[in-house]
Amino acid sequence: MRLPFIEKLKKTLYKTVTRYKWLAKWIFAIIIAGTALLFYESDIFKRLEFLTLDYRFLLRQPKPMAHDIVFIDMAEDSVKAIGRWPWPRSWHATITKALSDHRAKAIAFDVIFTEHQGGIDDAAFAEAMKEAGTVYLPFMFNLKSQDIKEIYKGKDIASISWPIEPLKENTRGTGFINAAVDEDGILRRIPLAVNYKNTQFYQLGFKIACDSLGLRDKDIIFYPDKHSIILKKPDGDIKIPLDENNELILNWRNKWGKAFKHFSYIEVIKSYALLGEGKKTPINLDNLKDKICIIGLTASGLIDIKSTPIDNSYPAVGVHATVIESILNNNFIHTTTRFVNMIIIFLVSIGVTLWLSGLRPLNGLYLAITCLVVYALFSAAIFVFYNIATVTFYPLFAIVISYGLTATYTQALQAIERAQLFTEATLDGLTHLYNVKHFNLLLEAEFKNVSLYRNRRLSIIMADLDNFKNLNDTYGHQAGDTILREIANIMKSKCRQLDVVARYGGEEFIIMLVGAGKGWTLGIAEKIRTAVETQQFTFKGESYSTSLSIGVVEYSNEKTKEELIEKADKALYKSKRDGKNRVSVYDSPV
């Protein structure tokens, strides 16, 4: 038995969904876009976004960097020749003099000189630096959290580790070497300028690059709100793009050892000594002319190793060369702003959802995969060819959830449509009882069961509304329709859940009572007849009354269902013939 309000709810739901499909599409699209944007704003998948950036770095063809930047490596061979660290500063004085004598453009040490070693060594190194006039030394912010981003927030630092005074006063410049890795431990970006306590401090590589371009402090303009630094040059400004944290995305181009030219620290000193003796040298020191020479620790146990997108083991000294190369060649990674990223996520979410919502799940799957591939290729292409890093994971995530929700919605809609089609095919539109076609199918199936199992019982009730034509002619068809609907409700209320109630046609009804014998069926039939007889039907304020004539039959080895229905009809005819408003049982031929 089907409850009227459930059928009405299903019908209303179906009409609403089918009529407002366009509205449902937009609601889904906005929900998906909002979800993706919420995840983006909360940085839930920040590490996965980093991972997509790393893959884009790996997709690029490795390229050698600028030839005017070289490394002087303090590697294992130098440690073996000179001894344990720290080395006497007389060695640094010697290599400074060697590089200066061969006209190196700049000499940068990625070594912290914060402690005195002794008057002679410190003085020798300071004197060599003074004569060269091109030496850069680093300093460090000693941060309580070891995160340079804390400076942006105005938090205090414990101290600044400056080089000792005899060395500091003879440098051409100093720069900080703090480099904070991202949450996943990979070094992708670095601050170039930090304004702390009303003083502008520059990163070491940035300071070297600016001096190489002949820039003074007034030529360096930092725009925190615009996430950029402008270098004012006579032949044209250089705009350095920064990310939303005002840091430079490091433009990693190749693995350590392949990006720049490398020379051994000890071999440079040996070559310098042999050259003074007029002997053949292992290194042609003239190759260092006009080069920016970066001297740093690369020996195992001494090296400051970082993980980068292209190399799991990359000495931190390489950061300075990467910064210098990017500035000198105006070769930067450009990141799209957070606002632009949100627009991209929103448009991808809306567009893909609206496109997918009109497709079947399998076709939608093909389209979703295509969209994933196309956007991933687009993101990779603009990075590889134009150095533009745009948001990647979150649009891909939006495509995935778009497919998931739209596929679920489509399947639900199809299920509603199938249910509605089934309802329209099986139910009578006026009374919401089963129609005669579906009733016959159900009766046929049950008839086969009782034919196979002799102890199974089956009965049929056939009812006809008395004087229905006169009622229609007197009060109108709308009043007749109202009475038919109410009688249908009475029948369903008096029957069991497993009984099948149907409109047989016009004012006739038929009921199949599964497992019921003649006695039980007579009781149900009498309840229906009495309820109809005592019911006052109302339409437009007027009351009407009517009655039912009913015929009952129990299965008794009939050959076909038609034979069983015919016997029920004959019992009904007997009730009509005997005065109507009564129940008759088929016992013998009428």
Q: Is residue 397 part of a domain?
A: yes
Is the domain of 347 the same as that of 264?
no
Lowest average pLDDT, out of 196-200, 215-219, 548-552, goes to 196-200
Q: Taking each helix axis from N to C terminus, what angle separates 46-59 and 361-386, rounded to the nearest 10 degrees? A: 60
Q: Which amino acid is at 80?
A: K
State the Rg of the chain over Cα: 45
Q: Which of 303, 295, 299, 311 is nearest to 263 (CA)?
A: 295
Give DSSP secondary structure letters for 507-553: TEEEEEEET--HHHHHHHHHHHHHHHHH--EEETTEEE---EEEEEE
Q: Is 368 in contact with 402 (CB distance < 8 Å)?
A: yes
Q: What is the pLDDT of residue 558?
A: 87
**Cα separation of 246 and 195, whole Å?**
12
Q: In the predicted model, is pLDDT for residue 283 greater than 60?
A: yes
According to DSSP H, which parts of 60-196 are helical?
76-82, 89-101, 119-132, 149-152, 165-168
Q: In the predicted model, is pLDDT for residue 79 greater than 80?
A: yes
- What six digits make up the tokens of 35? 């979800």
Q: Which of 269, 294, 328 is the last residue of a domain?
A: 328
Q: Is 321 in contact with 69 (CB distance < 8 Å)?
A: yes
Q: Which residues pair with 230 in a beta bridge?
A: 221, 239
Is the domain of 211 the same as that of 299?
yes
Q: Which residues pair with 460 in a beta bridge?
A: 512, 553
Is the domain of 126 the same as that of 245?
yes
- Report which listed range, 6-10, 65-69, 470-474, is most confident: 470-474
**Cα separation of 128 and 99, whole Å?**
10
Is the domain of 119 the same as that of 41?
no
Give the angle 143-335-227 at the CA atoms, nearest 5°: 55
Q: Which helix (DSSP H) or strand (DSSP E) does residue 284 occupy? A: none
**Residue 525's domain is classified under what CATH number?**
3.30.70.270
Domain enclosing residue 485, as ranges: 427-585
Q: In the predicted model, is pLDDT for residue 144 greater than 90?
A: no
Q: Which of 553, 549, 559 is nearest to 581 (CA)?
A: 549
Q: Where are the beta strands (DSSP E) in 288-344?
A: 292-297, 305-308, 311-315, 334-335
Q: Is residue 440 part of a domain?
A: yes
Is the domain of 188 the same as that of 150?
yes
* Average pLDDT score over residue span 97-119: 92
Q: Which helix (DSSP H) or strand (DSSP E) does residue 346 occupy? A: helix 338-356
Q: Is residue 590 part of a domain?
A: no
- What six digits make up the tokens of 349? 């979410």
**Cα separation of 570 and 578, whole Å?**
12
Q: What is the pLDDT of residue 2?
A: 46
Q: Is residue 5 part of a domain?
A: no
Q: What is the pLDDT of residues 146-204, one digit of tens each?
A: 555 655 555 566 678 999 999 999 999 999 998 888 888 899 999 999 887 778 899 99
Q: What is the pLDDT of residue 590?
A: 44
Is the domain of 513 the same as that of 444?
yes
85 versus 573: which is more confidently predicted? Answer: 573
Q: What is the pLDDT of residue 178?
A: 87
**Cα separation of 96 and 90, whole Å?**
10
Q: Is residue 13 part of a domain?
A: no
Q: Which of 85, 111, 107, 110 is nearest to 97 (CA)?
A: 107
Q: Is 228 in contact with 242 (CB distance < 8 Å)?
A: yes
Q: What is the pLDDT of residues 413-451, one digit of tens each?
A: 777 677 777 777 788 888 889 999 999 999 998 988 888
**pLDDT-based confidence at 575, cuts 50/70/90?**
very high
**Cα separation of 443 and 554, whole Å?**
13
Is the domain of 317 the same as that of 400?
no
Q: What is the pLDDT of residue 1?
A: 41
According to DSSP H, which parts of 258-337 are helical?
265-276, 318-328
Q: What is the pLDDT of residue 302?
A: 65
3-state secondary structure at position 129? helix
Q: Is residue 3 part of a domain?
A: no
Q: What is the pLDDT of residues 340-386, one digit of tens each?
A: 999 999 999 999 999 888 788 888 899 999 999 999 999 999 999 99
Q: Which of 360, 383, 415 is the last residue of a domain?
A: 415
Q: What is the pLDDT of residues 453-480, one digit of tens each?
A: 777 899 999 999 998 888 888 778 888 8
Is the domain of 242 the same as that of 354?
no
Q: Is 409 in contact with 437 (CB distance < 8 Å)?
A: no
Q: In the predicted model, is pLDDT for residue 16 greater than 80?
A: no
Is the domain of 28 the same as that of 46?
yes
Q: In the predicted model, is pLDDT for residue 218 greater than 50?
A: yes
**Cα separation of 89 and 124, whole Å?**
8
**Cα separation of 324 and 293, whole Å?**
11
Q: Is residue 6 part of a domain?
A: no
Is the domain of 292 the same as that of 395?
no
Lowest average pLDDT, out of 201-215, 281-295, 392-406, 538-552, goes to 538-552
Is the domain of 30 the same as that of 75?
no
Q: How many domains does the chain have?
A: 3
Q: Which of 311, 328, 345 is the last residue of a domain?
A: 328
Is the domain of 323 the same as that of 342?
no
**Cα separation of 74 and 300, whole Å?**
10
Q: Is 570 in contact with 584 (CB distance < 8 Å)?
A: no
Q: Is residue 133 part of a domain?
A: yes
3-state secondary structure at position 504? strand
* Average pLDDT score over residue span 510-530: 93
